[in-house]
Structure 1
Amino acid sequence: MNYHPGEIQVQERAGVRDIAARKNSIYSEIPLAAKTFLESQPFLILGAADDDGAVWASVWFGTPGFIKVEDSQHAMISGFPDSQDPISLCLTPSNPIAAIAIDFATRRRMRLNGRIGEIQPNGFQFRAEQVYSNCPKYIQAREWTLKEGPSIEPAAQALETLSEEVVTLVNKADTFFIATQHLQYGTDVSHRGGMPGFVRAEDDRTLVFPDYSGNAMFNTLGNAVCYPQAGLLFMDFDSGSLIQLTGTVEILWDVTPFAHWFQGAQRIIRFHLERGIITSHAMPLSWSTVQYSPANPSVVVES
């Protein structure tokens, strides 16, 4: 297993370099089990950077089968994001891209990192370079169904600061995704989960959240110590809204000032907003009542 210098730097500081060095679960091809899993999903999380270097995370919905694995290196993703989605500016041939297929109901997830291949009239090709799964830790269990009744047209609103609506949705979130990029080693998008309150707004341009014990690989933080640009995606499972934020992150190694909020935090991540977008009525799926992961540490929610 090869890591880039940023990942190694964080692994060493966290004291898990030996554990990380023993990881050998990353494939350079899409295994058969991954093909079956990918093709059964109704949505896909994506992460990529635009020409200005801003990193964005997004989610792409489709009828199961909209992800079609063509061979061991390529998957075809049908459809395109709405033109208001910032990720639409990132879809250019050879641009690094990352994806997560996640089944909340079974707490399974599959990650793919690679590059954009051909852009076709009905979608684009994902050229996989790294394929691997993660453990179910911190994934909240939910089941999806298609929304019934007439659909409501999505409505997007640009953000320069964290509005009151955004702060309310973020403060009750139990799940989000973070995309990062290393200019030499590619893009990554990863899942973050915890009890409601595990993401907090410090002010109208700043969020903080804990970094819990994970797989010791530190793909996200390894990218961030070299290139701090990051994109966050929040899916509000109650309202169907999506929040996409881009900015920079910093790693706070001293958790003491936050220990009363975040039990089990090994580091704190502070996100500084540059701009964003909130899109209402964006998800064509309805979600069942959440079942929180038993691995979630406690958080203190202040009234």
Structure 2
Amino acid sequence: MTVETFHPGERAVQARAGVQDRAEHVGRGIGAVIPAVAARFLSDRRTLVVGATDQKGRVWASMLSGPAGFLAADGESTLAVAARPVPGDPLAAVLETPAEVGTIALDSAGRRRMRLNGRSVPDGRGGLLITAEQVYANCPKYIQRRHPLDTPSTPELLGSGSRLSTRQQLAATTTDTFFVATAGPDGRVDASHRGGHPGFLSVHGPELLSWPDYPGNNMFMTLGNMELNPAAGLLLPDWETGGALLVSGQAEPDADRTVWFTVERVVELAHATPLTWSEPEYSPANPPIIRA
């Protein structure tokens, strides 16, 4: 493993957890090439979660979607994405120009996922070209099994603000899956998946959320970014309707690795994707919900 595999924030969190050796071992699997098996995996996906930073320094996470094949490896180190964020999405303007992005492709039905981080540019045809800098697979933990269903619809911006409404708080406290985007000290962005039983994302009011950081691959890329840059973005998909709740704010992990998230901006989209999803089969890895 080279020194550049992890930045100082990631190494600091790994050291506190006592997993430096494990992180070094797992980190050897990170590359800048899209292997053939990863290319096949991506070509079958219907969605791609993308994280990026806007001009005000806010980090957002969003979801792109299309038919199978809308994601395609273009050579060994480029991912072609035949989609852009829908109107009203905070990342719509960001991705009209070159941007650092973090992405995660999730196979809910097969409980598989992989991440590809790099630099995105518009392709001139309404899509994106992402030059890969980090490509790696993740373990299947905490993924709820779901199957996509095509539900043609028209995207709509439902509203935006600086705090969660009562209805949005209810959606947050009942979710079993969300995605979190963070940015490192060099501006590079990472997008990650978080899953658990409904209630694992706690709502403490319209401006404060928290969640436990469950054991994972020990690389601590998300917490490592938060160590040096608290800006973060959450994406809470509405699996029943295809809607999406996008939240940007500041994240601070405590000594017990509970992440406390202060809400700064909220955007809600109806029909953010033309997909709805089947009822979940919860992951057997989900820990029980424990309330203090």
Common fold, TM-score beyond 0.5? yes
What secondary structure sits across from 1:18 in the alignment?
Answer: helix
Counterpart of 2:124 (choices 120, 126, 141) is 120
Alignment of 1:43 with 2:47, yes or no, is: yes
Alignment length (residue pairs): 288
1:188–1:220: 8 Å Cα contact kept in structure 2?
Answer: yes
Alignment of 1:60 with 2:32, yes or no, is: no
What secondary structure sits across from 1:161 in the alignment?
Answer: coil
Tell me the TM-score normalised to structure 2 length: 0.94
Task: Report the equivalent of 2:197.
Answer: 195
Measured at CA, do residues 28 and 154 of structure 1 come closer, stay the same or move farther in structure 2, by a change above 3 Å? same
1:155–1:281: 8 Å Cα contact kept in structure 2?
Answer: no
Alpha-carbon RMSD:
1.6
Task: Report the equivalent of 1:22.
Answer: 25
Task: Report the equivalent of 1:229.
Answer: 231
Task: Report the equivalent of 1:105.
Answer: 109
- Structure 1: gaps spanning 5 or more residues: 255-266
TM-fit CA distance, 1:15: 1.4
How far apart are the structure 1 equivalents of 2:25 and 2:40?
27
Structural mapping, 1:241-252, within 5 Å: 241-252=243-254
Task: Report the equivalent of 1:7.
Answer: 10
How far apart are the structure 1 equivalents of 2:11 and 2:233?
22
Counterpart of 2:274 (choices 279, 284, 287) is 284
Alignment of 1:129 with 2:133, yes or no, is: yes
1:98–1:187: 8 Å Cα contact kept in structure 2?
Answer: yes
TM-fit CA distance, 1:185: 5.7
- Structure 2: gaps spanning 5 or more residues: none
TM-fit CA distance, 1:18: 1.7
How far apart are the structure 2 equivalents of 1:121 and 1:241?
25
After TM superposition, which residue ranges in structure 1, 4 or more long, deviate above 6 angstroms?
none
TM-fit CA distance, 1:184: 1.2
More displaced stretch, 65-74 vs 221-230: 65-74
Tell me the TM-score normalised to structure 1 length: 0.91
2:84–2:95: 8 Å Cα contact kept in structure 1?
Answer: no
1:239–1:281: 8 Å Cα contact kept in structure 2?
Answer: yes
Counterpart of 1:161 (choices 163, 167, 191) is 163
Measured at CA, do residues 301 and 291 of structure 1 come closer, stay the same or move farther in structure 2, by a change above 3 Å? farther
What secondary structure sits across from 2:118 in the alignment?
Answer: strand
Counterpart of 1:71 (choices 57, 75, 95) is 75
Counterpart of 1:140 (choices 117, 140, 144) is 144
Measured at CA, do residues 220 and 31 of structure 1 come closer, stay the same or move farther in structure 2, by a change above 3 Å? same
How far apart are the structure 1 equivalents of 2:122 and 2:265?
29
Measured at CA, do residues 172 and 229 of structure 1 come closer, stay the same or move farther in structure 2, by a change above 3 Å? same
More displaced stretch, 107-116 vs 150-159: 150-159
